[in-house]
Structure 1
């Protein structure tokens, strides 16, 4: 053990002997309690005290949080047995530490019924047979609590710094568990989401089931006021829970300080987990040459399966696809490693193993499907939705993040999925389908893009709506826009007029002109289909220019 650690541990032991776990028994040695006498509940003198209150009313349940020491003259319940027992039961129910009563002014003794109830519940009742100044007691004890709180913060800062130093050492994980055990003198358990329980120090096999029961009953760290001998705190990074850190007291109930130290230890382990994820992510980025070759179709099925088996031996690939995340980030120097870490974690939760590559501000994910093929698209859609809702992405404008997803192919055909993902991004930029992430959902735009590559799109547009376009150029009219809207509302004259912000009579005139330019049958099934395709194609061409 280092010199600093020994000093820290000795300081804490001295502090513990002082007053941190202040009990009813401890206050009996204070000057103001020299002539006090315990008349009931002597078995409860180990109750912890967190604060002191003076209370003279009988309805006090809503005024207390628990672990208070109550001072009273008895004026509120003197000569009323029912009120005195009701008051005492409320104190017991609210987990109050004890009741101190000054005899003489208002009551001469504690009723026997109160003594019996207190003894039954191990609830200490302390009497002062001589007049005492409650203000002196509250100043003394509450001042002690404030001093203790200050010392607690100093000790908490010291152990936090020690945890942080251990993060910089080799094998920081086990060192943090050991320090937590030594500092609080508790049994430490580490329960990963995937894997087996680890104990520090190790326990005998015969004791394991007893400890498992305590681990399972451990309360969340934020439940501080509830008396307990075990508590847990999750180890989280990037919104994903990796484990629970658990402490189990061998004797007394856990204190506030125990909970706070547990929280600091869990935070340090979370930081260590984040560091490991970051280092792993950086390593993967340096090893993406193989992925680029796979994206370009340079690996057959056997070599892909062999490579994936080396990464995750138990993986059973069930197809693959490519998801391109195109980001126009406000911070041009942003480290995309953090983005890929978060995205990868979310993909994994939805049943995809992700390999990532970079291209400018684009993240290119090769997604290996580990579950059924039947629902791969819905699962991936859930993942994309979660990515958009992360705090990291909420800080970016919504139009600065787009996804392009190819089709699901066999492992040796990832290059096809890659081409379709790129095609999806391209079509998103050139059409009104900017919110469509999957290539399969682009519908008519797939045909438009294909015809454009074949240099046949202009000819198709001319054949079916060329007369409309020339009329608009010559007359500076809006016949193309009228045709587009009329098709969108499936020929509803009412909806078309509202959407074009024109009166019905004007719309009727334009429809007659459309019939004149396109033919009376322009809304019949086959012809309408070709005209509607030409309208979409014209919008596509317009964005290209």
Structure 2
């Protein structure tokens, strides 16, 4: 049993409510410090002195549970408890489960003493039990405590409004996230940081170690309170962690990240939550403005790069000078790289998010390995114009070494890390060109490389235009109808996919040509009997001609089969 004077409320701390946010009110320890409770004694539940009191209630009936609310200080003379069939220990448990702050009892006339099991239950749950002096009236307690609560809430509101006006003035004066964070950190006198949804620091005030601690806390809060946008508040005394507050930065229904305050010494107060919430609103405004400006700039850059790749941007000197204003260096040998999402293009939010992630991954990777690279996101692909390695000669493998390989690997890793639904992208690289005037041809080469590479190697393919071999020659035919006509004229019935028997015969022809008409090897690969394969060869020759004897016919058949593999290009 604990019989502790009320004058020592213990260390101040912030109380985390069941909703995941801090509440406005007075901790039980402060309530015990008001003058009307000068003679009150805390007899159990000392660890719950940080519970927040927002309202008061008087217990007049035994079945009080239907009338109580969270964060209440419940007052009673003990009259409703006399002769109640419910054990008082169970009453403590029920009140605690309903989120009450504390129970204050005036003993003597109706309740001589509290049973030990009730006190033990209160201590175990950290539920404060308070013995009131005989000479204090409930009306005096109600008036003074409610007045203090209202005064506290008014002071909190006044301060948060003042902070809000100061932060808005910063934004109206042209300040950004860093200025907002600096102001909040100065007001709270603790480190503060704004993080995006991937825990990247957008702005921070504090040492690198403190910022890292805030990143970890934001990640924990996002995991602990996913339904509330990762909002959390709380305090941890001891273990070297200190108090922290995490508030989501939300605007227009979009979650832009978190604003975090961290105090190793546990100096955060309940009122600081309101300041941080106002700061989150202002930060959302700044982020939204920055995104709007970035979107306009990005569209302008993408439109200009599209004009360059279409040959509509003017002469080389004009293009080079204009791109220099974007930080793009096109006055050097460059290559065009096209990264295209695999799978059927969609129109939903998920597809748009995947395209944005792809653009962000390529922009970051390109800037890291080639600061002068031009990167833009088009409708269904991301295009980068990057510097060519000086050692790369004609036919060299740009994807085997050099900056392009490093960019592809890094962009792939970043894209996979930040996309919730597993997606892949394919990459195509053009030949090296020496002047902007040649970029339209290089762009077409990269497009053909990415799409032919995907057809040949599947999703996630990486292909250089010079590695396409015969497919490179076939891709240079500008009229697809000409290729389709060549396939129909050369393969005849075997060009269609309608009948399984004809598709099977075409497969037999393909393996025969791949093995240079080696009947035994072809039969082994296809698991046919030798005589069955001889019969199939006879049937194929009746349909296509004597290809086993005519080398030119075999060449035509091989090319036609290659064109079929490029279907959809």
Match among 498, 513, 516 for residue 539 of structure 2: 513
Deviates further, 101-110 or 261-270: 101-110
Partner of 1:203: none
For the pair 1:169 / 2:173, whether they are aligned, the reply is yes
For the pair 1:405 / 2:428, whether they are aligned, the reply is yes
Shift of 1:153: 8.8
Partner of 1:103: 107
Whole-angstrom distance in 2 between the partners of 1:362 and 1:454: 23
Deviates further, 416-425 or 378-387: 378-387
Contact kept in structure 1, 2:235 and 2:243, CA below 8 Å = no
Whole-angstrom distance in 1 between the partners of 2:493 and 2:93: 92
For the residue of structure 2 that corresponds to 1:246, the secondary structure is strand
Partner of 1:420: 445
Shift of 1:118: 9.3
Contact kept in structure 2, 1:461 and 1:538, CA below 8 Å = no
For the pair 1:355 / 2:374, whether they are aligned, the reply is yes
For structure 2, which runs of at least 5 residues remain unmatched after alignment?
1-22, 60-67, 222-229, 237-241, 390-401, 513-521, 528-532
Contact kept in structure 1, 2:27 and 2:49, CA below 8 Å = yes
For the pair 1:254 / 2:269, whether they are aligned, the reply is yes
Alignment of 1:300-379 (within 5 A): 311=327, 321-323=336-338, 343-350=358-365, 352=367, 355-356=374-375, 364-367=383-386, 374-379=405-410
Match among 219, 222, 229 for residue 231 of structure 2: 222
Q: 1:514 to 1:281 in 2, by over 3 A?
A: same
Whole-angstrom distance in 2 between the partners of 1:147 and 1:535: 84
Deviations along 1:103-150, whole A, 9 cap, x unmatched? 347852357999999999998541146699999999998999899999
Whole-angstrom distance in 1 between the partners of 2:126 and 2:500: 90
Contact kept in structure 1, 2:193 and 2:201, CA below 8 Å = no
Whole-angstrom distance in 1 between the partners of 2:150 and 2:526: 72
For the residue of structure 2 that corresponds to 1:230, the secondary structure is strand
Deviations along 1:276-312, whole A, 9 cap, x unmatched? 3543554466567689669979879xx89x959x949
Contact kept in structure 1, 2:245 and 2:262, CA below 8 Å = yes
Partner of 1:272: 286
For the residue of structure 1 that corresponds to 2:384, the secondary structure is strand
Contact kept in structure 2, 1:322 and 1:421, CA below 8 Å = yes
Partner of 1:483: 505
Q: CA RMSD in A?
A: 7.5
Match among 492, 498, 512 for residue 469 of structure 1: 492
Alignment of 1:33-52 (within 5 A): 37-40=40-43, 47-50=50-53
Partner of 2:560: 534
Match among 185, 196, 205 for residue 198 of structure 1: 205
Alignment of 1:76-91 (within 5 A): none
Whole-angstrom distance in 1 between the partners of 2:157 and 2:541: 83
Partner of 1:15: none
Q: 1:272 to 1:343 in 2, by over 3 A?
A: farther
Shift of 1:39: 4.4
For the residue of structure 1 that corresponds to 2:563, the secondary structure is helix
Whole-angstrom distance in 2 between the partners of 1:489 and 1:161: 76
Shift of 1:254: 3.1
Partner of 1:7: none
Q: 1:521 to 1:39 in 2, by over 3 A?
A: same
Whole-angstrom distance in 1 between the partners of 2:548 and 2:82: 93
For structure 1, which runs of at least 5 residues remain unmatched after alignment?
1-18, 56-63, 200-207, 497-506
Whole-angstrom distance in 2 between the partners of 1:239 and 1:330: 18
Whole-angstrom distance in 1 between the partners of 2:361 and 2:324: 23
Shift of 1:494: 13
Contact kept in structure 2, 1:350 and 1:379, CA below 8 Å = yes
